[in-house]
Chains A and B, each alone.
Chain A
Amino acid sequence: MGDGHSKEDIKKHVKLYIGIFIALLVGTVVTVLAAYVDLGHKMNIALALLIASVKAFLVAGFFMHLTSEKKTIYTILACTVVFFIGLMALTVIAHFDVPTIAGSGH
């Protein structure tokens, strides 16, 4: 049930793949154009990462079939997400954890 790999399903998928391909190309052009528009430094960064995340979702979700995978894969990826967040959190903590050296002005 719902494996989605019968010949009819594959034919439907192919249409979806082409749609995503076009969306990814459009996304690339939009990212480049958005970089030339001055929205303020932080907004530019946020927008670029947002577009990249949407593109990443399209690739992972459909090209890598993550929207319809088995539970084992989701479990593996859930662990990855936890560790990835931990890694980034450590980076943020490191950024704020700068020792004050007396008299150095830092």
Chain B
Amino acid sequence: MEVPYTSKPRPDTGLYNAKVGIWLFLASEVMLFGALFSSYILLRVNALEGTWPHGLLNIPIGTFNTAVLITSSITVVMAWASLKLGQFNRFKIYQGITILCALAFMVIKSVEYKDKFTHYQVWLKDGETIRGHIEVPGIEGKPWFMTHKKLEAMEAVDHITIHPDPKPHVASAGGEAPEAHKSENHGGAEEHAHEPRRIEKADIKRLSAFVPAHSTYFAIYFTLTALHALHVMGGALVMAYLWGPGSKMWKTDPERFTNRIEVSGLFWHFVDLVWIFLFPVLYLL
């Protein structure tokens, strides 16, 4: 059976069907992300004074990733415009760049996630908290997903070594890379902040990497960014199909193919749109 209005507009809506379909889908997506954004608001507004973390994410990396997504948003619309102008080769280039941008975004996001999984906060029994990278005897390199419970179970371990972050606790808006070694002209207490410090296992009250269990902030951060990343992957898969095997349709039904590019582009812009809000909300505020 022939499905009508795949390329010609339906008389009553004035639109080809897929366009109505994608907008209905995007409307449901608005509600999906809206629900999670409202969760974020509720968690944040109700957080106890001074407990909402700031400056734990890497702002330069986040900014760069925002630029990557924005770039992919222009190339996706240029790919569609190229088809409208009948330039299939240019379409291939723009669509290709879009897919590469999507991949770049995912690689950068993975690096960010990895940094979080190996970066720790330690709460000591005397009330002090320290952030930094830890060494655990018997574990090669940076341990992933270590917790105080796991430490507890490691009978042979009686201490850990922590390399505190250059700017302990008071990270305000600045999310500087830990490597950024500042000169020693800081005041007394901060001067020794960089030096590795031995911490007895018995003194540790809680230890957590920057994983969802760390705090409500990281719980909502990972929920929102992982859901967004799933959308990036889904969009990239569809666009890769339309760049590769799916592009054969250009020869048989160019109008319908152009519409497919428009519809996948609409989804992609939506993914970009979500990120436009996620970036300031999670990284900057």
Contacts and interface: CB of A to CB of B under 8 A. Distances in A.
A32 B174 CA distance: 10
B34 to A, nearest CB: 5
A37 B284 CA distance: 11
Contacts of B277: 49, 52, 56
Contact of A63 (B77, B173, B174): B77
Interface of B is mostly: helix
B145 to A, nearest CB: 30
A32 B59 contact: yes
Interface residues of A, number: 47
A105 to B, nearest CB: 14
Interface range on chain B (Cβ under 8 Å from partner)? 35 or more
Contacts of A52: 276-277, 279-281
A87 B115 CA distance: 34
Interface of B: 13-15, 19-20, 23-24, 27, 30-31, 34-35, 38, 41-42, 45-46, 59, 63, 66-67, 70-71, 73-74, 76-78, 81, 84-85, 173-174, 265-266, 269-270, 272-273, 276-277, 279-281, 284-285
Interface of A: 5, 7, 10-11, 13-14, 17-18, 20-21, 24-25, 28-29, 31-32, 35-36, 38, 44-45, 48-49, 51-52, 55-56, 59-60, 63-64, 70-73, 76-77, 79-80, 83-84, 87-88, 90-91, 94-95
12 contacts: A7-B85, A17-B78, A29-B63, A35-B280, A35-B285, A48-B284, A55-B276, A63-B73, A64-B266, A77-B27, A80-B31, A90-B38
